[in-house]
Every structure is written in structure tokens, then in C-alpha cells.
Amino acid sequence: MGCQLPIGVFDSGVGGLTVAKEIMSQLPGERILYYGDTARVPYGSKSKETVTEYSRQIIRFLMSQGVKVIVVACNTASALAVDTLRSEFDVPILDVVEPGARAAAAATKNGRIGILGTEGTIRSGMYNKCLYDINPDLGVYSRACPLFVPLVEEGWIYDNITREVIKRYLSDLQGKEIDSLVLGCTHYPLLRNLIDDVAKEVIGSNVTLVNPAVETAKELKTLLAERDMLSDHTHVPEHTFYVSDGAEKFRSFANSILSCTVIETKDVAVKTFE
């Protein structure tokens, strides 16, 4: 029978679009309702309580629009808030950290994994926990990269300044013999080419980047299939995008990275969804 309701996807800003893009590619018949909390980005430097409350408000808003599942397309909210959110809402909630850890554990050949993420994600130790649950013998090395999100939100994704910032952060992972490097923030795949280049130079030529979005979309497909919730749309549906500020800036950014055309982005303040 399936379920024609959309998939609710959210992030602090444009980062979650990298997850939405992967969902669109692996599940082309599914409609997405996206919320980017652009008025309150970044989440990475905020407390667990604040990120949990922001996420709660967004989920309430998405549920008020009618969604069949929520994808927390933000590593910070996944790492800090997802357990609480799952206990509060009666809707399946997928995060990006657990799939990201599974993808990294599958990708590494020498058992040495690097994690790049926001301060909140790295401080939470969530990637380490998930990876050690899979295999306690893995070597896990993390680095918080707080400047990446503002650089991406500013659109500086091919800039020399961004390259220098990446170099500075990655030099801390030098000599650790890492062969898999997790892009543990959904904004980071937008810097993929530069990070890949610098990682090969600074960490080693055999390093592979892991984008948790790929595994997340795969697991979303499995979940929907198991629950008989896949949509039976035969055409590519029209997705809807909401933000808490700067709708026009968001729309043009989304159009530069998605393969569909974003015609309109609506401003919605979710603070009222308390």
C-alpha cells in the first residue's frame, strides 16, 4: 500500500541538503520536506539543552505538516539530542552518526579512522562510542573544525582561505596512519574536493573520505521498505523547503547543489512550536 506522506529532513542550515540530495538520488519517488534553521546556525557550538530544544521545535513543526519519518540531517543534533527526541516523539527518527560510524567501520582497511565534526559532535564522543561498539580495537582520532560551517554558509567552498583552514585542522591528524576520514558534519561534503586534496597531502595518499549521508539514505530505504512505507509515486515529486531566516539566500544555495530546481523557500519561525 505504501505511504505518500513526505520525509521530514532538518539541519541548522544548508548542510542537510547534502543528505537530502542523497535521499533524492537513492529514493527518487519520495517527497522531502526540508527545514534549515538558518536563523540559529551554528548548532556546533551550542549546548546539548539548546540543540535538543531547537530540534524538538523543528520536529513539532514538521509533524504539524504531516511527515512519515524524520531524518536528523545534522551530526550535532544526532550526537546531542537524538536519544531524547526518540523518547519524546511517536515517529521513526533516523540520525546520521550511527550510519556514519557503520560506513566508516566498513570502509577502513587498517582500523584507523579519523572523525571531523563540530565542537558539539566531537565533544559528545558519539562517533567513538558507536565505532567502539562495532569494534573495540579500532583506532579513532577526532578533530573539531568549528570554522568549516561558517565558511560553507558563506559559500567559500573553493577558496584558498578555506584550503588553509582545512590544512590547519588536518595537520593534527598527521602521523596517525588514518585510512578513512569521516565527514562528520553534513556541511562538510560541500568542501569534499578541497578536504580530499588536503587530506591526501597532509594525512596520506591512501585516505578515503566517508560521507555518512550515503549509508543514512540506504538505511532510510530499508526502514521504509520494512514498514511498507515507501511511496508509489511514479514521477519525481516536488520538494518543499522551509528556513527560519534568509529564504532567498538559501534558495539560491540549494539550487547550486541540488539537481532539482527549488522554486520557493518559505520562512517559518519554529519558536512558536514549543
Q: Which residues are catalytic?
A: 74, 185
Binding flag, residue 142, ligand DGL (CB under 6 A): no
For residue 141, the minimal CB distance to ligand DGL (Å) is 18
Binding ligand DGL by CB under 6 A: which of 55, 76, 180, 231? Answer: 76
Choose between 11 and 98: whose C-beta lies nearer to ligand DGL: 11
For residue 66, the minimal CB distance to ligand DGL (Å) is 25
Note the Cα 195 to chain centre separation in Å.
16
Residue, CB closest to ligand DGL: 44
**Nearer to ligand DGL by C-beta: 76 or 231?**
76
Residue 149 near residue 13, CB atoms below 8 Å = yes
- R_g of the chain, CA atoms, integer Å: 18
- Sort 148 into a burial class: Cβ within 10 Å, 0-12 / 13-18 / 19+: buried
- DSSP 3-state assignment of 114? strand
DSSP reduced 3-state for 264: coil
Contact assessment for residue 194 and residue 183, using Cβ atoms and an 8 Å cutoff: no
The residue from 17, 23, 24, 41 that contacts ligand DGL (CB under 6 A) is 41
| Binding pattern for the stretch 14-33 against ligand DGL, x by CB under 6 A and - elsewhere | -x------------------
Of 144, 149, 211, 157, whose CA–CA distance to 181 is shortest? Answer: 211
Task: Provide the binding-site residues for ligand DGL, judged by CB under 6 A.
Answer: 11-12, 15, 41-44, 74-76, 118, 121, 149, 185-187
